[in-house]
Amino acid sequence: MKDKIFLGLKIIATLVAVVAIVYTTAGCLKVVANTSDQYYCFDESNAQLVEAGKTPLQCRFTAVGREMTAIDVPIATDGVSEGTMAYRIKSTEDELLVEEKDLNLATITGDNTNLYRIDVSELGMVQGQDYILEVDCREANHLSFLMLNGQLVIRQWFQFVHKTLFSVAIMALAVFAFFMVILLWKCGLHPKLFLLMALVFGLVAAIVVPAGSKDDEYRHFIRAYTLARGEKTIALAHVTGNEHGTIAGVADRQDYIVEVPEEINQIRLLDFSDNADGGGYQAANNQRVCIDKIISVMKHSKIYDTDYENNVVKVSAAVTATKPSVLYWPQIAMIWLAQLLHINPILYLYLARFGQLLACVMCLYIGLRLLPKRYDFIWILFGIVNVVSLMASCNTDGLMIALLILALSILLWFRETGLDIISKKAIPADVAYLFITYFVYKNKLPDVLLCVAMLLLLKKQNVARLGGFFKKHAKVLAVLALVAVVGLVIWLICGGYRTVLGILYGFVPEGHVVFIRDNTKYTIKLFCTEWINQVKTLVLAANGSGRIPYALTAILTLILCEKKEPIVLRIYCIVLFAAMMMLMILVGFTMTPPDYGNIWGITYRYMLPFLPLCAVAFASGNKTTQEAVRLVYPYHMIAVMAMTLMGWFLWLNRI
């Protein structure tokens, strides 16, 4: 009877996965087929309306699409504009492409801001080449244009010409997902199947997720690039106005500036390009031309290039400039290998992504091999698509999540085998755990408490052996502790408390401490509200692009995937999870003006490392349920991963 029920569950899970994949594939193909024109506009957030004068207005722009159709010019009037205007488009070599004169303003303007559309479909504009648009309004009155840094703000329209490419890629993903479902049906949940799925899905994510789209990814990549070149430190330099990057915003300030090949600057597709001169493109706009930009850059680049160092630009490496090399070893290895083989720098970011993906997948694979079948929460965590996208990026948080999952796997392996944590056989695992703790310390200091606190997940025998070790050396440790306490008291009496306050103010600014003291109730309410919001965000982060209630399924699986644990241990894990989240919120509070009204600087990715605790905290003791979940969940995960990656293909060009 039980076998028949399991077979029925397996059939239902397979059918649901297949239907979901087919439905999403059909929907994505329909979206691609219906996509025609797209637009790309300059960042209008800092633009200002400027009244037209006697001098022609200009805009130097790069044709972003392969088949350009139109250019929109925002025009603002006060309702009584009169006269005529003229425009011309020419190449940078002063070759005239089109010119129109004596355009009657009464026919092209109204009472509000308008867009005057210029048809360029017959001009044969070449993607990637620069052109100049000139607008002459000497015969016009009461007419204004959006201007930014002395340039007209325009919107380019171009045809979406990649329908075949996108359709083939989406179909290939669907075929692979069906293949994985067949393998799962025949082989069941197995670490080797995980390895295959993780590498393929992760590799697709590394390719299709637009460069720079993950938090601070481009700056992490720049740091890995400088370390691969042997530059351990990046010195502060004065911003001159020619630098590129998010943080280099004011010409009279200092910033961490790095010289990189022009190709590396070109790959900065979705990084906010607020350059030191104040000009830039919004990331959402950049997203519309990702595939065009990649194809254009690749087309004009050589796979093997020995002259790339002759054409360099300066970019900002703020935020990551002081981070240590231990955080970037997978990226460094791949970039160093690419430099050794003289591969074009345009591929460095993608190779660095693959390096991190490979390291993360191996960590998870080792974790799966260490654990018995009932500890399959690694599958669950990998199935959260946001984890996959982080692991397939240059952001160090992806590797930290993988290492923390491996750390938890090591501790559960100790519990399962009963191995003495201070025995010779345990040395490799001990060294790995210490390395993970060191890595976490260098990446995010608050999470070190997580590594320490997880040690209590060990069996009592191991805790007792650790206690025995300390008991054996009790006298020496007691003397050292006494000396430390006496020294600390003397130091505080002699004024050391000022140093303590200085350290405290280094983490929590003095103004924040005063604000908390004077507005205690408000601050407590703010922290609790933000904690609830972060829990909601963490759950939503697991949804992916699928219509199946993925987050709910993931949570239920976390509840049901492990054998019963002592209630004290489960409560401990819940409290630790809540406390770690609150600690990260406190860190965010130090980055926020105390009276701002909310807390910034904290995203869901900071909370993902705490999810493994849920697998232990909410463990069920029902063996039959465990087997059912292990049987059903992988089909669901494969479907959601395939569906999400299809959505990422559309996201690649914001269609």
- The predicted pLDDT at position 108 comes to 59
β-sheet with 254-261: strand ranges across? 236-238, 254-261, 312-316
Output the 3-class SS for 270-309. CCCCCCCCCCCCCHHHHHCCHHHHHHHHHHCCCCECCCHH
End-to-end Cα separation, the chain, in angstroms: 49
Q: Are 368 and 194 in contact (CB under 8 A)?
A: yes
Report which residue type is found at 28. C
Q: State the residue for tokens 């380019």.
A: 156
Distance between CA atoms of residues 412 and 418, nearest Å:
10
Enumerate residues 6+ apart whose C-beta is below 8 A from 126.
63
Q: What token pair was written down for 67?
A: 């088949």
Q: Are 26 and 92 in contact (CB under 8 A)?
A: no
Report which DSSP code applies to 56. P
Handedness of CA 313, 315, 321, 324 (dihedral sign): negative
Distance between CA atoms of residues 221 and 213, nearest Å:
12
Distance between CA atoms of residues 79 and 75, nearest Å:
11
DSSP states along 159-223: E---HHHHHHHHHHHHHHHHHHHHHHHHH-S-HHHHHHHHHHHHHHHHHHSPTT-STTHHHHHHH
Q: What token pair was written down for 106?
A: 């009464």
Q: Are 335 and 263 in contact (CB under 8 A)?
A: no
93-100: Cβ within 8 A, 24+ apart: 97/123, 97/125, 97/131, 98/123
Q: What is the pTM of this model?
A: 0.80
Alpha carbons within 13 angstroms on the beta-carbon side of residue 575 total 7
Report which residue type is found at 193. L
Distance between CA atoms of residues 427 and 247, nearest Å:
44
Q: What token pair was written down for 146?
A: 């959006």
Distance between CA atoms of residues 163 and 32, nearest Å:
6
Distance of CA 184 to the CA centre of its chain: 30
Distance between CA atoms of residues 531 and 65, nearest Å:
44
Q: What token pair was written down for 434?
A: 């210490």
Q: State the residue for tokens 């000139």.
A: 134
Radius of gyration of the chain (CA): 29
Output the 3-class SS for 580-633. HHHHHHHHHHHCCCCCCCCCCCCCHHHCHHHHHHHHHHCCCCCHHHHHHHHHHH
Distance between CA atoms of residues 596 and 415, nearest Å:
46
Q: Are 81 and 103 in contact (CB under 8 A)?
A: no
Q: Are 170 and 29 in contact (CB under 8 A)?
A: yes
Q: Are 389 and 202 in contact (CB under 8 A)?
A: no
- The predicted pLDDT at position 550 comes to 55
Distance between CA atoms of residues 210 and 652, nearest Å:
6
- The predicted pLDDT at position 175 comes to 93
Residue spans of alpha helices (H) in 371-425 = 377-383, 385-391, 396-417
CA distances from 312 to 293, 307, 518 (A): 19, 10, 52
Distance between CA atoms of residues 278 and 65, nearest Å:
24
Number of H helices, E strands in the chain: 24, 13
Distance between CA atoms of residues 505 and 499, nearest Å:
10
Q: What token pair was written down for 48?
A: 């200002």
pLDDT less than 50: residues of the chain? 110-112, 248-251, 270-284
- The predicted pLDDT at position 369 comes to 84
DSSP states along 109-170: --SS-EEEEEE-TTS-PPTT-EEEEEEE-TTEEEEEEEEETTEE--EEEEE---HHHHHHHH
Quick: pLDDT tens for 141-194: 667 788 877 788 888 888 888 888 889 989 999 999 999 999 888 887 778 888
Distance between CA atoms of residues 577 and 447, nearest Å:
11
Q: What token pair was written down for 269?
A: 């597709």
Among candidates 521, 512, 539, which has minimal Cα distance to 599?
512
Distance of CA 212 to the CA centre of its chain: 8
Distance between CA atoms of residues 504 and 343, nearest Å:
47
